[in-house]
Structure 1
């Protein structure tokens, strides 16, 4: 069986390739596909096939998907462009006769008011209409999303956000990548939709406590109103669109949209998800 992993020159895709190898998949049965084949050179040295793809380049997708039995479609990173990019990948998979697609979506994508959900909902709709066998992995938040905030707090001593008492059930990227590898290499997942998240939902006070432990320096959480947060981001040089997006996302957290702990992720990987402090330690070193 040939498995194509898209986004393999990025964080999640690369970890998915590593997880497939760890599960005993033959390197020659894996195609690591990404925008930068240079970043995939070490995988090629280990026998993994590599391919350059761009979601905006249909020909590159067709070439990479040729002969594939399964594709891990790692969602694109360009907000606002992802629906058309994913459509290109899905069309290429259909044309290539790919047996199944595993897609990394967002929490409760079809029903959630999460600011990131609409593009994922549209992609899920495209997948359901494609006629392919589909498995949806609705990935929750990555612990690594907070590495920047934690490292900055090493200087400022503060993690500031407008999340209020909101909680985040994060897990490490490696946890999510391992779940993808499990789904790609075991039976019984056709048509399944998994709501993936960490086992424990933490508050930002707990994030600050974890940062204090990881950095070995005191860090506190500063709770801002949305207006204060927007002003602070503007003062830091963020453009209006980016600042508004960050504040809206914090509002989603405040509303509890990233706090669910379904247990699906732990069940798929057969172990507890990586705790917050351990995930930050691994990411920051």
Structure 2
């Protein structure tokens, strides 16, 4: 979807800039719910299409266009999440959320002042945490309703009364959904390591992998570490997670050996955290995200599906 849009209605649209200004927030919401930037953009495009399908009189009757857009976008995402399970059953290998490059400031939530006025202040997931690969993977294990309640409340600062209007549930039900989702996040994810520490571990990992130093890789990986790869059935990738630091180290060094020096490992920001891009003959062939606990890497997500590397093609 392009940044500029035109209204099919005659006459100037004084609110067009404000409507388009909602796009970043809507894409951020949809990305967190769907785990796919491409699907998020499609959902937001459909949201705006429905807005402009309204007559001028219907648009003027909407008290808050931003709230209307949020409601419609969320409901579109709920419909997509309902069918996603069926699509995943046909997916070849493991499914991993689509990784995002660079900083993630563009997918922020409500302004701080708005969030502060929201009812039911609770332990909130920070904006960086809410786009980390580990967090998105936990989200994918939740029910669609839990995911919506958690993201709308904890990340975007919506009170449960508003979430109830969006989802068609009671405020009490939405509060319980968010609480259950929050417990799942806390049970699944350890406290995040400081960013400089994570960056140093990833840097040492890159050097060890580049040198094909199995012992050094094993030393950086937790003994029970896991590597999950996503090739989507399009490119070669491990169909099942690889468990154990030693097994992962051998797997990665074998990859580097078979590439015969054609791989370049680049340190990049992946979903707001230190990660790696594996370039093959100058083209991004994989994006690696890492989860870190204490002084070891505990999980590696390797996204190889070319359809999920679209934002990285300019690398």
Name the TM tier (shorter chain).
Answer: 0.3 to 0.5
TM-score, scaled to structure 2 = 0.30
Q: Which has the larger radius of gyration?
A: 2
Higher helix share: 2
TM-score, scaled to structure 1 = 0.32
